[in-house]
Amino acid sequence: MSTLVSSIADGLRRAGFVFLLGAVAGLAVHATGTGGLQFETWSPVAIGNSVLVGVLYVAIIDATTRIIQVVMEAFVPVQSKEDVTIHALAPASATLFIFVGLTAGLKALLGTTFSTSWALLLGTGTIASVIVGGVAGVQALQSYYRRDRQDHAEGWEARMRRLRTQTCPPVLFDTLEAAQPLLEQNPEAAKPLLNTLQSLLEYRHEAGDEETVPLAREIEAALSYVELVQVQYGDELEVGFDVPDSLLSVPVPRLSLLPLLENAVEHGVQPLDEPCTITITGRHDDAQLCLAVLDTGPGFDTTDPDTVLRRGSGIADLYARLREHFGSEAELSLLPQGVLWCAPIPESSEASVPADSDQRPAPSPPSD
């Protein structure tokens, strides 16, 4: 009952606002028209007609923008700054279109009785569309940053929990499926496979106990993962590592490489009916570490970082953790066929990285 009363109250308040705004707009247009400031033009009939027309314009525009807002929220969620622009332009364009259409209809229906000039009405419509678009844009921008704050408020622990559950589940089931016949026929042959799986799962579930691990430990986990996925793909998958030895002792956040490798397998290898090559590269340049996971698969459907990062993927969680650990200097880039992240090397680790170590440019995608 209280919800019904609240809905009725909100409807009445909105109707009152529409009537007030329409009345003010209608009288303002009448006042700026030809002879609008002359006393004889302000008869009760003229005032009533101006108020009625103004309310009609505002009511139709209000209903239209509300419908567009509902449609936009359903089909174009605010996930990037480009979406904010769309949310602003759509109601603004609709407002101007409705204004022009309604004006043409009233002039055709009322003839000379509706004597307000086209120039004045178009100017009013343009101002109205700018206001509507501005309000819609501000609301969309607030929604964009509100979601950003909510994502950040989840905190490191929540993202680590997601990474622990997102990393490796497919390989778990594939490995168990491959090990089952071996366990029945030759249990000793299945032990290395199951030991590798156990090691990988333990590493994943240890995430959070130690915030950082040497890069060598991440690569070791990646090698275990590769060993398991090649049970399923065999010669269809080739994985190469190109990381200088000088970087192996650099501390990195745990699970900062494995999610990208899993993403490359899932989206780079699985959709293909031909062999795929995945390359993991590491570079050191001016006290900065860069790691990339590249593949010869179909690549991303977009390289816009905002769009991909706001899909709630493991890449988004990884980027948030990199920013928390390294600060604003951490960068994540989407390449046509892979992901690259760069971050400053901690000062305590710089001494162990020779100044003349491998300083080649940031990795580029492997050729098909």
Residues 6+ apart with CB under 8 A from 298: 267, 268, 271, 272
The pLDDT value recorded for residue 318 is 82
The pLDDT value recorded for residue 367 is 45
Please give the structure tokens belonging to residue 310.
Answer: 């706001």
Residues 6+ apart with CB under 8 A from 62: 14, 18
Dist. CA 74–CA 68, nearest whole Å: 10
Nearest to 253 by CA among 327, 181, 306: 327
The pLDDT value recorded for residue 282 is 92
Asked whether the beta carbons of 256 and 215 are under 8 A apart, the reply is no
Dist. CA 161–CA 289, nearest whole Å: 25
Let me know if domain 158-350 sits in CATH 3.30.565.10.
yes
Dist. CA 120–CA 102, nearest whole Å: 14
The pLDDT value recorded for residue 154 is 53
The total number of residues shown for the chain amounts to 368
> Could you list the pLDDT tens digit for every one of the 368 residues in the chain?
566 777 777 777 877 877 787 777 777 776 766 555 555 566 676 777 778 888 888 888 888 888 888 888 878 878 777 888 999 999 999 889 888 888 888 888 877 777 777 888 788 889 889 998 999 989 888 887 777 666 555 554 555 555 555 555 566 666 667 667 766 777 777 778 788 888 887 887 776 545 788 999 999 989 988 888 887 778 888 899 999 998 999 999 888 888 888 888 877 776 667 788 899 999 887 688 999 999 887 776 666 666 666 555 677 778 877 888 888 888 888 887 888 999 988 765 554 555 444 444 444 444 44
Locate the domains of the chain by residue range: 2-153, 158-350
The pLDDT value recorded for residue 178 is 67
The pLDDT value recorded for residue 360 is 46
Q: What is the DSSP letter of 79?
A: -
The pLDDT value recorded for residue 176 is 67
Element (H, E) at 58: helix 44-75
Dist. CA 181–CA 274, nearest whole Å: 27
The pLDDT value recorded for residue 219 is 92
